[in-house]
């Protein structure tokens, strides 16, 4: 491989710090909504259940985005992609969101360790003993092993995210092309580790909310949701940063177009996985499987399910398909925000129908949505603040990556 060109002469290093203190202040301000959500929950009927599930939903909404970013970073390295070099550092920053999230998810794990069964019925030994199926699943679904798995999952993700960011940042300093080769070699096993940890984490934290129900495609469903979330976030960040003068020249409309294409493609992928899960359960019509969709057709959840079918798939499929929509920053920004909201509703639809109070499932209510929105903004504030802190003074672009030239000249046909 050729030695990387010293591009420092041509490209001045930009950092997120150039945005000024405002983003950090805004995100910390948003974080104040987290206690607000807590008190909203505390003061309303069945509020603690609402808050607990909203908190789980919020953390796993942002986790899906960070995991999507981690996947993107590794797949770009694995495939030796040239076009995406200018976007990769930003993706690496987003993937570092697993660090603040590891702390944010900790209370959920502590709750399980304390034997609280608000979220997970299997955490309560008495309930497990009364049940016919949970004792059989107890060797896997028990609080000790759950906590251990939490450590493994987040340990792996933090390790992977830090590895790819640090090696890439080190290359900014010395321009060593060997680092690129090292990252390429590590990305293969890294993706394998990622695939297992993500699937099992989705099963542990989201699917086991209903310990009787199972779906073997669930991990991929969460993965698909995460990629939709990540590409939306990436498009929003790029367009925002460009408007603030960062990455304006390096990230051209061609790159935005490709991010839009990936967003569209993974939205279709999400729909494909969702219908695959639905169709098999619908066709087999076995009560222990259909219960998942039955829950989501009652107590107002039917509306949310329909919003997902029409809003998450059909509308973007028809209107976001055209090339023009993806090549115009304004329309791309609109669709990215729209699909991010849809992704939020998707995770909301996965988590909240499991909320029960006194054995009775809670229906969709304004209070529930309010608590969840406040909670999401609060958690999001901490998440973004964490990413900004970790990004610090690092360049927003891998300025001495050997494939930078290729990326800068990238052009769609």
Partner 1 sequence: MATTIEQSEKTKAEPELIGLLAEFDDPQALIDASMKVRDAGYRNWDTHTPFPLHGIDEAMGIKFTILPWIVAACGLTGGTIAVGMQYWMNAVDYPFMISGKPLFSLPACIPIIFELSVLLAAFGAFFGMLGLNQLPKLYNPLFKSDAFRRVTNDRFFISMDASDAKFSEIDSGEFLNSLNPISVEECWSDVSSPKLPRNLVLGLSLVGVIMLLPPALVAYKRSTTTNTPRIHIIPDMDFQPSLKAQNTTNLFPDGREIRPSIKGAIPRGQFKDDNIPFYYGLKELPEDRDVVGIALQDEKKADAKKADAKKPVEAKAADAKPAAGKPAVVDAAAEAAKKLDKLPWVTEFPMPVTEKMMARGKERFRIYCSVCHGLSGDGDGLVSLRAMELLQGTWVKPASYHTDNVRKQPVGRLFNTISNGVRKMPGYSAQIPPEDRWAIVLYLRALQKSRYTDANTLKDDEKSKLRDTK
Q: Concatenated DSSP letters for 142-199?
A: SHHHHHHHHHHHHHHHHHHHHHHHHHHHHHHHH--HHHHHHHHHHHHHHHHHHHHHHH
- Residues 96-155 contacting partner 1, CB under 8 A: none
Residue 2 Cβ, how far from partner 1 at the closest point, in Å?
22
Residue 51 Cβ, how far from partner 1 at the closest point, in Å?
35
Q: If binding is defined by CB under 8 A, does position 309 make contact with partner 1?
A: no
Residue 317 Cβ, how far from partner 1 at the closest point, in Å?
11
| Smaller CB separation from partner 1, 91 or 252 | 252
Closest CA to 333 of 410, 399, 240, 247: 240
Residue 293 Cβ, how far from partner 1 at the closest point, in Å?
11
Q: If binding is defined by CB under 8 A, does position 413 make contact with partner 1?
A: yes
Q: Residues in contact with partner 1, total (CB under 8 A)?
A: 10
Residue 322 Cβ, how far from partner 1 at the closest point, in Å?
8
Entry field: residues in the chain: 413
CA distance 258 to 323: 10
CA angle 372, 373, 376 (to 5 degrees): 85
| Smaller CB separation from partner 1, 307 or 373 | 307
Q: If binding is defined by CB under 8 A, does position 294 make contact with partner 1?
A: no
CA distances from 369 to 97, 133, 308, 378 (A): 24, 32, 16, 14
Which residue stretch of 1-9, 42-50, 255-263, 318-326 sits at the interface with partner 1 (rule: CB under 8 A)? 318-326
- Residues 166-225 contacting partner 1, CB under 8 A: none
Which residue stretch of 70-78, 256-264, 321-329, 361-369 sits at the interface with partner 1 (rule: CB under 8 A)? 321-329
Residue 254 Cβ, how far from partner 1 at the closest point, in Å?
10
Residue 279 Cβ, how far from partner 1 at the closest point, in Å?
6
Q: If binding is defined by CB under 8 A, does position 322 make contact with partner 1?
A: yes
- Residues 254-283 contacting partner 1, CB under 8 A: 275, 278-279, 282-283
CA distance 41 to 317: 37
Classify residue 208 by its DSSP letter. Answer: G
In the numeric block, the tokens 């729909």 are attached to: 271
Q: If binding is defined by CB under 8 A, does position 288 make contact with partner 1?
A: no
Extract long-range pairs of 359-366: CB within 8 Å, 24+ residues apart: 361/295, 361/298, 361/299, 362/46, 362/49, 362/50, 362/299, 363/298, 363/299, 363/300, 363/301, 364/299, 364/300, 364/301, 364/303, 364/304, 365/300
CA distances from 156 to 69, 164, 342 (A): 15, 12, 28
Single out the residue of 80, 130, 323, 389 in contact with partner 1 (rule: CB under 8 A): 323
Q: If binding is defined by CB under 8 A, does position 411 make contact with partner 1?
A: yes
Interacting residue ranges for partner 1, rule: CB under 8 A: 275, 278-279, 282-283, 321-323, 411, 413
């Amino acid at each position: 491989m050729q030695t990387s060109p010293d591009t420092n002469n041509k490209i001045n290093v930009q950092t997120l710090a150039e945005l000024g203190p405002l983003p950090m202040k805004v995100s910390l301000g948003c974080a104040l909504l987290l206690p607000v959500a807590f008190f909203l929950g505390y003061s309303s009927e069945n509020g603690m259940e609402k808050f607990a599930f909203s908190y789980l939903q919020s953390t796993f909404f942002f986790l899906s985005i960070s995991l999507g970013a981690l996947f993107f970073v590794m797949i770009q390295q694995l495939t030796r992609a040239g076009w995406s070099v200018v976007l990769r550092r930003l993706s690496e920053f987003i993937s570092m969101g697993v660090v603040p999230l590891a702390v944010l998810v900790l209370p959920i794990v502590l709750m399980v360790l304390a034997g609280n069964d608000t979220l997970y019925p299997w955490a309560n030994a008495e309930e497990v003993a009364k049940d016919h199926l949970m004792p059989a699943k107890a060797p896997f679904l028990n609080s000790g092993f759950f906590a251990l798995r939490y450590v493994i999952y987040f340990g792996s993700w933090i390790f992977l995210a830090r590895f790819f960011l640090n090696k890439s940042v080190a290359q900014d300093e010395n321009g060593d092309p060997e680092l690129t080769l090292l990252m390429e070699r590590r990305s293969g096993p890294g993706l394998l580790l990622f695939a297992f940890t993500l699937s099992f984490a989705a099963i542990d934290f989201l699917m086991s909310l209903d310990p009787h129900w199972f779906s073997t495609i669930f991990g991929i469903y969460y993965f698909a949701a995460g990629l939709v979330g990540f590409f939306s976030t990436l498009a929003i960040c790029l367009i925002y940063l460009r408007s603030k003068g960062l990455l304006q020249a390096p990230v051209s409309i061609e790159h935005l177009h490709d991010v839009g294409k990936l967003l569209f493609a993974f939205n279709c992928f999400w729909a494909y996985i969702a219908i695959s899960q639905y169709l098999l359960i619908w066709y087999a019509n076995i009560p222990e499987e259909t219960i998942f969709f039955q829950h989501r057709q009652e107590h107002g959840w039917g509306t949310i399910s329909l919003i997902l079918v029409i809003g998450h798939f059909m509308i973007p499929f028809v209107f976001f398909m055209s090339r023009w929509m993806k090549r115009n920053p304004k329309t791309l920004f609109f669709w990215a925000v729209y699909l991010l909201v849809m992704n939020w509703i998707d995770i909301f639809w996965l988590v909240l129908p499991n909320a029960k109070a006194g054995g009775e499932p809670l229906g969709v209510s304004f209070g529930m949505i309010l608590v969840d929105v406040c909670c999401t903004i609060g958690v999001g504030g901490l998440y973004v603040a964490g990413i900004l802190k970790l990004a610090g003074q690092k360049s927003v672009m891998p300025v001495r990556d050997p494939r930078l030239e290729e990326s800068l000249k990238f052009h769609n046909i």
